[in-house]
Structure formats: C-alpha cells, structure tokens
Amino acid sequence: TTCNAEGVALAKKIINSPYLNLKGLYSHCGHSYNIDNGAEMKNIVHDDHAVIIEFLNLLADHLQTFDTSSLDISVGSTPSMFS
C-alpha cells in the first residue's frame, strides 16, 4: 500500500512536477474478488473508503498550497460495486 508517508512523498513529487498534474486518487480493493458474503463485502468497502479518506487527510496535512478538495476520488472494484 502507498497510503502512508511513501504515498504522500510520491503525491508531493507529482504536485511539484512541471510535467505532471495530480488529478485524483484511486483505491482498488482487489481482495474483494473472492468474497461471497454480503456483510464481509460491506466491511471491505467500508475499510477501503476509510483508507482513502485517511490518506487524503494525511496528504492535506503535508501540503500548504494544494487544494485536495479538487481531486477526483475513486474507490472500489467490480465486486464491491454491488455491496
């Protein structure tokens, strides 16, 4: 996972690059593909949402001039879409 200081460092490099624009964050809960229990799937979806929000807050804490509210956020996987 890069939802930690390593991910923040990468995001900051992208934000500070004259050649790249950070447009959003994407989290894919790939571990949801073998789940056939609805309650367990909802827990995975909830956890994945919590991870991306936690990372977004961590990123915002490390940036002074970048507005994280402008980022597109995408979370999920095909199986988790149905939970």
- pLDDT tens readout for residues 28-74: 666 666 777 778 878 877 888 888 888 888 888 887 777 777 888 87
Q: Can you give the pLDDT at residue 71? A: 83
Does residue 82 carry a pLDDT above 80? no
Whether the Cβ atoms of residue 47 and residue 35 lie closer than 8 Å to each other = no
CA gap 80, 83 in Å, rounded: 5
Does residue 1 carry a pLDDT above 70? no
77 is written with which tokens?
């996987």
Whether the Cβ atoms of residue 62 and residue 14 lie closer than 8 Å to each other = no
* CB atoms closer than 10 angstroms to residue 58: 15
- pLDDT tens readout for residues 11-35: 889 988 999 998 988 876 666 667 7
Mean pLDDT (the chain, rounded): 79
Helical axes 5-16 vs 38-61, angle rounded to 10°? 60
Burial class (CB in 10 A: 0-12, 13-18, 19+), 6: exposed
